[in-house]
Each structure stands twice: as structure tokens, then as C-alpha cells.
Amino acid sequence: MYKLVLIRHGESTWNLENRFTGWTDVELTATGVEQARQAGRLLKEAGYEFDVAYTSVLKRAIHTLNHCLDTMDRDWLPVVKDWRLNERHYGGLQGLNKADMAKQYGDAQVLVWRRSYDTPPPSLESDDPRGQRQDPRYARLAPEQIPLTECLKDTVARVLPCWNEAIAPAIKAGQRIVLAAHGNSIRALVKYLDNIGDDDIVGVNIPNGIPLVYELDADLKPIKSYYLGDAEAAAKAAAAVASQGKA
Ligand code: 3PG
């Protein structure tokens, strides 16, 4: 049996301001740092050890991982940073307030933008300063690989190659992995691992900074999954994420 630990980053400045973030590279808040440290404490107390860590190229996930590993006294672990674990690109919604959008367009429309499997939010123009086509961290990608918007289906389409090429083979080779990423890149993985249907994934929300443990069989099929620590608190935190898009 294998174990895989997924952690959504701690609260970011734009989580606090309730703004669509996507590929915008915002910092953790003090609460977010504490959530990351608490994740590290939970993992340490439960005796978790890792061989390698994965994260995105966005600092809210990278710093969450760093704080978590520092709390575990495992700062020295090798870390792979892969853009394919980035948050879903939120297109033209990036920077806008989620509740304001719900007031303007209605809760149902915002739910479609946030949670539908295959309807992307409005696209950015390719020269929009909120886009990433001039960002040096993506310089090795072809322009068309750098999204101007993404639905969850698009996110799955880039997360899964990362899983299949890098993460799954590493797990099968016996590497114990912790992965710090984002609400929707983790939803993409959860959808795949748990084989969740396109309609049912709408109801899945990932709370900030709580380790989500997957126990996997030899074929990497989930035996069970659970949040470490207080299950009720994790459920409440997930429900609070769901509510962020309501007027
Ligand atoms: C964002 O990019 O705005 C958040 O990290 C995830 O947002 P969501 O919960 O609205 O999808």
C-alpha cells in the first residue's frame, strides 16, 4: 500500500479578499502561514516521512510546502516545482471579487465559472497584463500552452500528464510524496483518483492547509482518503470554500 499526501496552500491574500486568483502569484497571509505550519505539525505528530515533495510554480503553494517541511524539520527534502500543478487559470475573472461577481451575474453563473467541469470563465486577451505570456517562469512553454482561461477539464488535461509521467512512477518506485498545490489542481487529481463524474465534481471543495491523505493500492487505486486532524473542521472549511462564490 502507498500513501500520498495532498495539501492545498494556506490562506492567500486574495483568498482573504475573496478574489479570483488563478495564475496570479499572490502571497500567503499570516493565517495561511499558520495553516501550513499546522499541517506540518499534524504530519509530524502522525509520523509521516517523505522522500520527495511536489508543488506548483506559484509562491502560495511553494511557501506552504516550505513552512510545512520546516515544521517537520525536513527542509532538506528534494522539491519538484511543476507548472502543471498550478491553480486552474481563472481567465478574465482573475482579480475580481467572487461575491461581487455573484451580485452582478448571480450565484448560479458564478457556480458554473467556479465548479462546472467544462465551461471555462471568460478568456483573457493575449496581451492582457494579467496574463502570463511574458512571465519568465513559463518561458520554456509554447505560447499556446500558457492558458488564457481554463475549465477544470483543461486543468485535468495538464495535471494528468504530470501525474502519469512523474508522480505515479515515483510512487510506484516507493517514493513517499507530499504535494502542495491548489484548490482546482487538487480537485483535478481527486476527480481522477476517485473517478468522480463530471456532475459530481461540482460539489467537491478543498479546504486550505489541511493534509488530505490517500491510501493507494498497488495499481494506485484509492483504498481510502481522509483529512488529517479534525474531520468536522475540515468539512466546515470545505463548506466555507463553497460559499465564497455567493452574493
Ligand atoms: C482561486 O484561484 O481563486 C482560488 O485559489 C480557487 O478558487 P475557487 O475555489 O473559486 O475555484
Using CA positions, which residue lies closest to atom 10 of ligand 1? Answer: 114
The Cα 76–Cα 70 span in angstroms is 9
**pLDDT tens per residue across span 137-182:** 999 999 999 999 999 999 999 999 999 999 999 999 999 999 999 9
Give the residue, out of 132, 241, 243, 246, with the most ligand 1 atoms within 8 A of its beta carbon, to mutate for a pocket test.
Answer: 241
The Cα 153–Cα 172 span in angstroms is 26
Q: What is the pLDDT of residue 13?
A: 98
Q: Active site includes 49?
A: no
Q: What is the pLDDT of residue 147?
A: 97
Query: 135, 147 in Cβ contact below 8 A?
Result: no
Q: What is the pLDDT of residue 48?
A: 98
Question: H/E element holding 63?
Answer: helix 59-71
Q: What is the mean pLDDT of residues 15-39?
A: 98
Q: What is the pLDDT of residue 83?
A: 98
Q: What is the pLDDT of residue 62?
A: 99
Q: How many CB atoms lie within 10 A of CB 126?
A: 11
Nearest ligand 1 atom to the CA of 241 is 9
The answer to ipTM > 0.85 is: yes
Q: What is the pLDDT of residue 136?
A: 97
In this structure, the residues whose C-beta lies within 6 A of any atom of ligand 1 are: 20-22, 87, 90, 114, 182-184, 241, 244-245
Whether residue 89 is annotated as binding a ligand: the answer is yes
Using CA positions, which residue lies closest to atom 1 of ligand 1? Answer: 21
> Which among 67, 87, 150, 182 is annotated as catalytic?
87
HEC sequence for 115-181:
HCCCCCCCCCCCCCCCCCCCCHHHCCCCHHHCCCCCCHHHHHHHHHHHHHHHHHHHHHCCCCEEEEE
Nearest ligand 1 atom to the CA of 98 is 10
Using CA positions, which residue lies closest to atom 8 of ligand 1? Answer: 114
Q: What is the mean pLDDT of residues 108-125?
A: 96
Q: What is the pLDDT of residue 11?
A: 98
Q: Active site includes 87?
A: yes
Q: What is the mean pLDDT of residues 69-93?
A: 98
What are the extents of the domains in the chain? 2-240
Q: How far is CA 128 from the centre of its chain?
A: 24
Q: What is the pLDDT of residue 241?
A: 97
Domain 2-240 class, CATH top level: alpha beta
The confidence band for 87, taking pLDDT boundaries of 50, 70 and 90, is very high
